[in-house]
Amino acid sequence: MRIRAGVSFPPGYRIGHATDRKSKTGCTVILPPPGTIAAVEIRGGAPGTRETGVFTPGNLVNEIHGLVFSGGSAFGLAAADGVAEWLRECGVGFAVGGERVPIVAGAVLFDLAVGEPRHPDAEMGRSACGAAREGAFETGAVGAGAGATVGKLFGVGRAAAGGVGAAAVPLPGGAMVAAIAAANPFGDIVDPETGRVLAGPTFRGATVGIARALREDDLAERNSPPHAAGATTLVCVATTVPFEPGSLKRVAIEAHDGIARAVRPAHTVLDGDAVFALAPPGPPPPILLRLRVGAAAAEAVARAIVSAVRHSRVRPRKRR
Tell me, what's the pLDDT at 137?
92
Tell me, what's the pLDDT at 314?
46
φ/ψ of residue 292, rounded to 5: -60, -45
Tell me, what's the pLDDT at 6?
54
Tell me, what's the pLDDT at 115?
75
Along the chain (320 residues), what's the average pLDDT of each consecutive run of 10 residues? 60 97 95 98 95 92 97 96 97 92 97 85 98 94 95 88 96 96 97 94 81 85 57 97 97 98 96 97 96 98 95 50
CA dist 236 and 242 (Å) reads 16
pTM (2 d.p.):
0.93
